[in-house]
Amino acid sequence: MGDWLIWVGAAITLIGVAGLLGSGVYALRLRKAGLDEEALREKLRRGVLLNMGALFCSVIGLMLVILGIALG
């Protein structure tokens, strides 16, 4: 039972890490876009949501890995 938890958790963690990298790229593109302050702030709110979702996904994946190791 522990083996599949480790692999599923690792996959979820990698998805979360990809989301974190994607939110970083999104923020860098916004910074280079030259938007005014209000438009930049509004678009960065979306980036923060993406960042928090990706971080949550990574944490859940790592918890599954730890649980799989403990059960394995």
pLDDT digits (tens, 9 = 90+) for 7-55: 999 999 999 999 999 999 999 999 898 888 898 899 999 999 999 999 9
Alpha-carbon span 13 to 57, nearest angstrom? 6
What's the confidence (pLDDT) of residue 60? 97
Alpha-carbon span 20 to 55, nearest angstrom? 7
- State the sign of the Cα–Cα–Cα–Cα dihedral 17, 20, 24, 30: positive
- State the sign of the Cα–Cα–Cα–Cα dihedral 51, 54, 60, 61: negative
* DSSP-derived secondary structure letter, 34: T
Q: Which domain holds residue 10?
A: 2-71
What's the confidence (pLDDT) of residue 31? 87
Confidence of residue 2 (pLDDT cuts 50, 70, 90): confident
Q: Domain count of the chain?
A: 1
Alpha-carbon span 12 to 64, nearest angstrom? 9
What's the confidence (pLDDT) of residue 53? 96
Give this prediction's pTM: 0.85
